[in-house]
Amino acid sequence: MADDGPRNMDEAMTLIEKLQKKNHTLSEMCASLQWKLAVAQTKKGAVGSMGFPSITRGRAKNLPNKLSEGMDRVPSSGGTGVYKYDRQDMSNMVRLSFDNTTAEDIKKEVLTDNRFKEGPEGLMAGLKVSQATGISDKEQADRMEKFGENVIPMEPQTSIFSLMWGALQDPTLIFLCFASFVSLFIGVFVEQDPMGWLEGTAILTAVVVVVLVGSVNDYQKESQFRALNAKKDDMTVTVLRDGQKNNISCHKVVVGDIVLLSTGDIVSCDCYTVGRNDLMINEKMLTGETVMKKKGPYELSSSGHVVYSPIIFSGTFVQEGEGKAIVIAVGTSTYAGTMQKKMDEAEEGNHRSILQQKLDDMTEVITQGGAGFAILTVGVLCVRMYLAFQAGLCCKEEWDHHVHWSEVLSYLISGVTIFVVAVPEGLPLAVTIALAFSVKKMLKDQNLVRHLSACETMGGATTICSDKTGTLTTSRMTVVKIWIAGQAHNSAAEVLKAVPKVKTQLAEASVINTLFKTFLKIEKGITAYCGNDTECALLLLADELGDGYNAIRKRRPDDEAGRRCISFSSDRKRMSTVVPAPDGSSIVYTKGAAEIVADLCVEMVNADGTSVPIDAAMRRTVEGAISDFADAGLRTLCLARRAVSAKDGANLSPVELETGLTLVCLVGIEDPLRKEVPQAIKDCQRAGIVVRMVTGDNLQTARAIARKCGIVTPDDPPGAVMDGKTFRDLVQDENGELKQDAIDRIWPQLRVLARSTPLDKHLLVSGIQASMITGVAQTVAVTGDGTNDAPALKKADVGFSMGIQGTDVAKNASDVIIMDDNFVSIVCAVKWGRCVYDNICKFLQFQLTVNITACALACVGAAILTESPLNAIQMLWVNLIMDSFASLALATEDPTDTLLSRKPYPRDQAVLSQVMVRNMILHSSWQLVVLSFLIFGVGDVCQGSGNVCSGTVYVDYYGPLRSGRPGAYDFAGVAGVCPPVFNASDPSTIGADGLPLRAAEFCREAGGGGTNQHYTMVFNVFVLMQVFNEINARKIHNEVNVFEGIMKNTFFIVIVIGTFLVQVLLIEVPGINTAFGCTHLTQDQWIACLLLGLSVLPLNVLFNMVPPSLFPMAGGGLPPDDDEEEEEEAKPRVAGSKSKDQ
């Protein structure tokens, strides 16, 4: 193009129009020419270097305007052109800007990138956009296709059926389904018992309840979360289209649109500022920082600070000003969109919670143990049968296909029964109820739980990585120190008491020199800030002094004659306002950086309201006060005033006006700690949880806040506080990989990470999770409110987002939403987590005690009596209904403050502690001793029927009751009781009536005569011992007083009393007791049953004296392969490395 190129601007424009009209395939050449001309506009006089011949001075003078007009006339591609930049280029450009925020990084990484070197003109040319006219409506579809839509799609809500199917994948539930089908098959088809369907149906019912409760709860919580997101309606955005201002849906904004921004707008896409503007952007929702960011071409101060930056990020808020910006990224290409992608990737690696993994492991062990006992029992029964045949015992003289195959089948059924009894089928229901109950209660403590498992995981948290702003602090800048008349005060009330005569001067100095767009408003009884946070703090100070800022502004309106405003300048670091005085003169009010404005003061306000000179001693006092404020991490301002003539007030330059000032006061401003935070931090430390503050503030401010809330102490080592860049350099290698050995040397003593980026937080969380220097993996909780916190929230074991200031992306990434943004609510979550864990362990201790006793009874009954002392429907009541009731009773205990008095449960600690194993073994042993005595030591052996023996007593046991044991057991070895085997040729086998002495059904006789008081007492004592042992199960940490707090749990009281009353009905109500194989008991028998049942309470005190160290722990920790997977996942590569962004 050097030889045939245009010789002047008109020829260049004509050539562009001809090329586009002639052939769309040449549009790339048009883009190149447009870009060339745009660069020429910025270089103005350097046109010749682009291949243009020299032009006249007059033409050169008009070149910028001519070029601008020509650019406005450039026809758009109509949606068929090829753009210089693609979707990934723009996304990388945004990330490059976001990831490099220091002046050093910007010089090295950003300003060397071609996309930033070309400036907004080159960017607009590459995207084929005119600043004056924007794009055409016709281009919208094509740009959407090439750059994407301005929508970050949310994952569709999981259907209730998918949640139910997911719940059914629980290993315990799978096994229970299998056990129920086996039970149904045997009961209905093998035994052909009319009630044989009950056991299997009951187990299936338990499975259905667990699945429904869990999935419905998850579905409701997700619906609540989506309802929160639904409050954000579709926003309207003002754009330039075809040279006209149009208000369109934010979802229709495309890359290349010129958006018009003004105060109060929420930015819906990533933009690059163009033209002149005075935009001040609040990026708190993205980065967590409260400092407003000025937008414009990159400008770095001589002191190394970033004065202006050009990129405006999606989700941020226009705090002040107005201006134009070109859209460079939309939807998933925005920085917020990339965070969502990272979050989705992290979602893929999610595993079952720590407790769920432990319970799965324990259930597998119990299942294997139950299977072993079942096989052993069947084996013993078969051996007994073989020995009986060898000895020729009664009914074992010879094999009878009609009798003995059925007996073998009954052995197999007994084995299956033992197998079913051994499995803790109530456990999933207890876990689900505990979690669902706690979720509803936690909402009252300002915790909206999105994932049920997060409840109990939080109980084992060893580290909390917390944000500062809004979580530890109030997120509201406040004047906390006032130095006036030579004295420092902590509040406006102290000022009013100490120096009341200066309050009007202080109030006016605080209010008059502020922007009118800054104001306070009351929302739901709370004072909300609008505008500059620092100025809002000064307005609030005036209100506290009694001279309301609104009253002062009414006296000094914005349009007051003679009023003059001198805006804040980063070079001057101060701002001033001139207002007329009543005597016709003017008053200059100045505020700014304390050390600079104080140096301009020659006088100061005294306690009586007069002015006194500042001598050398007072100057040192002022400097000392400024230094003290800075050491406390306060943002320090100096408020000053000066009287000048009206003429000077109108005509003098800012430098001339801002000299010879009178110092009114120094104010120390900070985002103060929430009052309750220091105690909450102490509670965490007492509970063995290390709180680490991760903030974007500078080191000095971060250290001061951390000291105030107790995160760091003067005794902490130097490594307790570190800045993000130093941390990053130490723990990352040249490839962006995490160096675990390096982070292992840092994290144990690290308490504050200042000037941190989202990457730093993610690295810290990953490194702590992967560390094994303590011998066990750590459980990490993370708080976050910005979009950039999403990856860390997902990576953490429990992610907490902020309900008030949190972005939608952060909330979507979190497990729990803190509705009041208060750290204390996180401490409440810790208590609830530990409470849930304890409640599940309480139920586990209770149910396994029941199962051990029931399983042992079934084994003993099958091996010795050839049948269980408890029939199927009694087992149903004991093994299922009581467990379900117990899950409600024990899983609904509320948390207490004592839960924070012990250390977190280690990830590898077994579910069953030594105390729990001791209680289970000793209580089940005592129950077995009592029940064995009732089964084998009570019940006289005699023939006939009834509850007492009326004929010959063959064996006399304790008490008058007739035995309920099977006749085959009771009469074995009793001479004359077993009739001979029928033999037609042997008259001795035939009775006087001509019938065989041994009837055909004699050997089929299973029991000892139907319902009886003997086995009814066995059943009753067994149930009552479980009811009263339920009270013992409330305590799992060796507490002696098991009744402590019992009246606070209404569920428990109702269920225990209800279970007892139902037990009375089962035994005493005719018809019902028959169905349960029971009969009426006498008053004395009831007293005996109650005393035996109550015996577990005093014995529990004795059992507590047995050292738990004599017993093992059980129910294993995390499977080793899961730990290995977590370590592998904890080696993140730095997403979006700089080499890729450029």
Q: Which residues are tagged catalytic?
A: 467
Burial 235-248 (b: 16+ CB within 10 A, else e): eebebbbeeeeeeb
Cβ-contact 378, 414 below 8 angstroms: yes
Strand positions, DSSP E, 227-350 = 236-241, 244-249, 258-262, 270-274, 280-282, 293-294, 299-300, 306-308, 311-312, 317-320, 322-329
Rg (CA), the chain: 41
* Best CA proximity match to 1097, nearest among 1048, 1057, 1054, 1041: 1041
Give the phi and the psi of residue 1122 in degrees, each rounded to 5: -65, -40
- The closest alpha carbon to 670, from 640, 625, 639, 700, belongs to 700
Burial of 1139 (0-12, 13-18, 19+ CB in 10 A): exposed
| Count of other CB atoms within 10 angstroms of residue 691 | 25
Tell the residue number behind the tokens 């974007």, with chain if given: 696
Quick one: how far is CA 773 from the chain centroid? 26
**Dihedral sign of CA atoms 1099, 1100, 1101, 1107 in order:** positive
Question: Does an H or E element contain 423, and which?
Answer: none
Outline where DSSP puts E strands in 344-455.
447-449
Task: Write the DSSP assignment of 540-607 as a string of letters.
Answer: HHHHHHTS-HHHHHHHS-TT-TT-EEEEEETTTTEEEEEEE-TTS-EEEEEEEEHHHHHHTEEEEE-T
Residues composing the chain:
1142
Strands 752-754, 721-723: pairing is: parallel
CB 924 within 8 A of CB 849: yes
For residue 488, the surrounding DSSP H or E stretch is: strand 487-489
As a whole number of angstroms, the distance between CA 637 and CA 594 comes to 5
Distance CA 620, CA 626 (A): 10
Q: Cα–Cα distance between 780 and 797 in angstroms, integer?
A: 5
Exposed/middle/buried for 646, CB within 10 Å: 0-12, 13-18, 19+? middle
- Token look-up 């098991």 returns 1042
Which run of H or E residues covers position 279?
none
Cα–Cα distances (Å) from 506 to 542, 563, 581, 639, 642, in that order, read 8, 19, 16, 8, 13
Helices (H) and strands (E) in the chain, counts: 44, 33
Backbone angles phi, psi at 4, to 5 degrees: -100, 10
Torsion of CA 541, 547, 548, 551, to 10 degrees: -140
| CA atoms of 344 and 17, how far apart (whole Å) | 46
The token duo for 444 is 């009252």
The encoded tokens of residue 352 equal 């079952």
**Which tokens is 1093 given?**
């049942």
For the beta carbon of residue 108, count every other beta carbon within 10 angstroms. 12
Cα end-to-end distance, the chain, whole Å: 28
* Dist CA 1132 CA 345 (whole Å): 12
Please list the residues that pair with 528 across neighbouring strands. 521
Q: Are 1130 and 767 in contact (CB under 8 A)?
A: yes
